[in-house]
Amino acid sequence: MKKYLYIFATLMLTGCMGILDQYPKSGPSNETFFSNETELTLGVNAVYKTLYWFSSESTLIQFQPMLDGLTENYYIRGTYGGNLNVVQSGQANGETSLFASAWKHFYAAIAQANNLLDHMDRAKDVVTEEFYDRIRAEALVIRAYQYHYLVFLYGDVPFADHFLEWNEADLPKTKAETIIARMEEDLQWASEHLPDTWTGEDAGRVTSGFALGLKARYALYAGDYETAAAAAKAVMDKKVYTLYPQYGDLFLHVGKDASEIMMNIRYLNTIQIHHNPKYIGTRLSDCYSIIVPTWTLIDTYQCTDGKRIDQSPLYDAKHPFENRDPRLRASILVPGDYHNGYKFEPCPDSTTTTLIVGDKVTRVPNTDATHAYRSPTGFVSRKYCDEIDCPENVKKSELPVIVMRYPEILLTYAEAQLERGIVDQSVVDAINAVRCRESVGMPAVSVSDGVDKIRETLRYERNVEFQMEGLHWFDIKRWKTAEKIMPGRLLGRRQRANWYDAVIPTFNEYGKPVYADESIFESLGELVFDPATSYNWPIPQSEIDLNPLLAEPAKSAE
C-alpha cells in the first residue's frame, strides 16, 4: 500500500459548533486544492482516514470488533468502548456519549468525502477520465460506508450529499429509505469504475466487489431481498474471492491478505496503530480482558454433528469445549487453551498456571484467575489478539481490522433468496461453502431440510462466523429477535463452588440458552431490549439543541 494512504494531516475538518456546521479552518485552501492528480490522491487518502473509528483518542479501540458489546454475545467491562454496556443494560438516552461520538464521527467523515466530491472537478481537465472516475468512486464508497452506520443505527437522519456551507447546517431529517436508495445508486456506479483488485502499494483501497458487497448489505438490512441477492450474486460471479482454508488465521497477522477479505482497515506503526489487543487479551499477556465473550455465545456453538449442545450425544458437560464447532476455539480462548505460552486457567482455585517457552515448562502466578480485573466471564477472545503482539505490541498493533469478508456475500445471497421464497441448490451451496470450509467441516445442509431448518442454520452461521465483527447487532434487529434473546441476566464467571458443574442449558425458540439455575453464575447485570425504543439510537440531545429540526419527523423524498 502506498505510504500516502497513511497521510493524515491533509484537509482535516475542525469546528466549534454542531457537527453539521463544520468547515475547513486549517490545511490547504479549498479555493485552489484538488487541482491535479497529486492533490486528488491526497484528498481521497484523507477520506480513507475516516475509516479509523475509535472509542476515544486515548483508547484506540477500533469500533467494529466492539459492536458486539451491544448484544448478548459480548460483555464490556466499565465505560470502555463509549459506554456500550449502557446500551446493553437499557440505560442509554439522548445524552449517552456513545451516540454523540458516533454521530460526530460519521458526519465528519461524510463531510470529508463531500468536500472532495464537490471540488474535485477542478482537476477534471488535467487528469485522465479513468483516474478521475476512480477517485470519485472511492470517495462515494467510503461515504456510503459511513452512511450505512447512520441509517441502520439511528434510522431517519439528515442527508448531506454535498459539502455544507455554514448557513446550510440546520438540515431536517430525511427518511432512511431515501438515503438507502441514493447510496445503493452511488455504490452501483462506483462498482463500474473501480478495479476488481489492487496490487502492490495500492492494496487496501476499495474495490468493485466491496462496492457491490456494501450495496448487498444495505439491501439486506433494508429487507430488499431482490436487490440484495442480485448484488451478492454479482460479487460471486466475479470469481475474485475464495474462502480462506484456515478460519482462525483470518484474524491474525498471517491472514491479513487472505483470499476472502474484501476490505480491511490497515495500520502502520509510527503513523496509525490500535490498542485492540490490550483490551481483548489475557491478563498474563499484559492485557485487560475488557471485551469478553459471554456464556450465551459459548453455549450457542453447535457440536461437530451440527446439533445444539442440548440435543447432541457428542456433548459432554464435564468437557464442554470438546467436539464443538471448530470456530469456537479458533475464535475464543477457553479454559485449558494456551496463548502466548501461558495456559489459560481462569478458575479461581488456579492460583498458578503453566508457562511453556521453547522446551522449558514452569509454573507461574496466574493473574487470569487472581487479578481483580480478570475476565468477567472466564473467556477471552482470540480474534484481533495475535500472540505476535503480546505483550510488547498490545498498544501498538498493526493488525488490520476486517470490514467485509466473502462469507458475508455468500450468506447474504442465501438469506435473500430464502426470504424471497427461493430454496434451491445455489442457496444451500452458498451456506455450505462457509459451513463446510476445510478448517470448519460442519455438516452440510440440503434443500430437503426445508425452509425453517435452513433459515435456522443460516442465522446460526451469521452469528458464529461473524462474532466480534460488528454485524450481529444489525442482524438481531432486522430479524426482530433482539427482544427475544437480549433481555435477562448477563451471566459472568461460574461461582467458585459451581465451576466444574455439568450444566446443559435448554434453548428458547429463538436459539438463546436458558439455564435452570442462574445463581451458579456471577451476575454482570441485566440486558434490556425494549422494542419501543431500542431499535434506533436516539439522536444526541446536544445536536437537537443546536438544530431543533432534528426533533421533527423526517421529510419525504422530494
CATH code (residue 133):
1.25.40.390
Q: Which residues pair with 157 in a beta bridge?
A: 174
Please give the Cα distance from 19 to 13 (Å, whole number).
Answer: 10
Residue 212 lies in a domain: yes
91 and 8 within one domain = yes
* Grid coordinates belonging to 184: 445503493
pLDDT of residue 16: 28
Say whether pLDDT at 391 is over 90.
Answer: yes
| Residues 99, 552: Cα–Cα separation, whole Å | 18
Q: Give residue 556's pLDDT band: very low, low, confident or very high (50, 70, 90).
A: low
Verify that 408 and 284 share a domain, yes or no: no
Domain-embedded: residue 299: no
- Torsion of Cα atoms, 364 then 370 then 371 then 377, to 10°: 120
Same-domain status, 81 and 223: yes
* Residue-level pLDDT at 201: 85
- Residue 376, pLDDT score: 97
What band does 116 get if pLDDT is binned at 50, 70 and 90? very high
Residue 530 lies in a domain: no
Spatial separation of the C-alpha atoms in residues 68 and 463, rounded to whole Å = 10
Q: Residue 24: pLDDT band by 50, 70, 90 thresholds? A: very low
Determine the pLDDT at residue 59: 82
pLDDT tens-place string over residues 484-504: 999 999 999 999 999 999 999
Residues 282 and 364 in one domain: yes
* Within-domain flag for 509: no
Q: What is the mean pLDDT of the segment spanning 456-479?
A: 97
Average pLDDT over residues 223-250: 98
Q: What is the average pLDDT across 283-299?
A: 96
Low-confidence winner among 52-61, 328-337, 346-355 (lowest mean pLDDT) = 52-61
pLDDT band at 28 (very low <50, low <70, confident <90, very high): low
Same structural domain, 226 and 208: yes
Q: Where are the alpha helices (DSSP H) in 120-156?
A: 129-154
**Last residue of some domain: 402, 427, 444?**
402
**Is residue 394 domain-shared with residue 409, that is, in the same domain?**
no
Is 409 found in the same domain as 397?
no
142-173: per-residue pLDDT in tens? Answer: 999 999 999 999 999 999 999 887 677 789 99
In a domain, 471, yes or no: yes
Percentage of residues of the chain with pLDDT beyond 90 = 84
One domain for residues 17 and 30: yes
Residue 310 is predicted with a pLDDT of 98
Point out the domain boundary residue: 378, 402, 426. Answer: 402
Q: What is the DSSP string of 275-339?
A: -HHHHHS-GGGT----EEE-HHHHHHSPBTTS--TTT-TT--TTSTTSSB-THHHHHEE-TT-EE
Mean pLDDT, all residues of the chain: 92
The pLDDT of residue 409 is above 70: yes
Judge whether 137 lies within some domain.
yes
Same domain, 408 and 380: no
More confident residue, 333 or 164: 333
Range of the domain at 220: 3-271+537-549
Residue 25 has pLDDT above 90, yes or no: no
Q: What pLDDT was estimated at residue 30?
A: 62
> Which has more confidence, 18 or 192?
192
Residue-level pLDDT at 27: 45
Residue 210: inside a domain, yes or no? Answer: yes
Q: Does a cis peptide bond (omega within 30 degrees of 0) precede residue 195?
A: no
Residues near 293 by beta carbon (within 8 Å), at least 6 away in sequence = 73, 74, 331, 332, 377, 379, 380, 381, 467, 468
Q: With 50 as the cut, is the pLDDT of residue 239 above it?
A: yes
Domain tally, the chain: 3
Residue 75: its H or E element: strand 74-76
Final residue in a domain of this structure, among 402, 428, 445: 402
**Coil/strand/helix, residue 424:** coil
Q: Are 364 and 259 part of one and the same domain?
A: no
- Average pLDDT of 254-270? 94
Residues 144 and 74 in one domain: yes
| 507 within domain boundaries | no
Is 191 in the same domain as 246? yes
pLDDT at res. 55: 72
pLDDT of residue 29: 55
pLDDT band for position 547 (cuts 50, 70, 90): very high
- Burial (CB count within 10 angstroms: exposed 0-12, middle 13-18, buried 19+), residue 198: middle
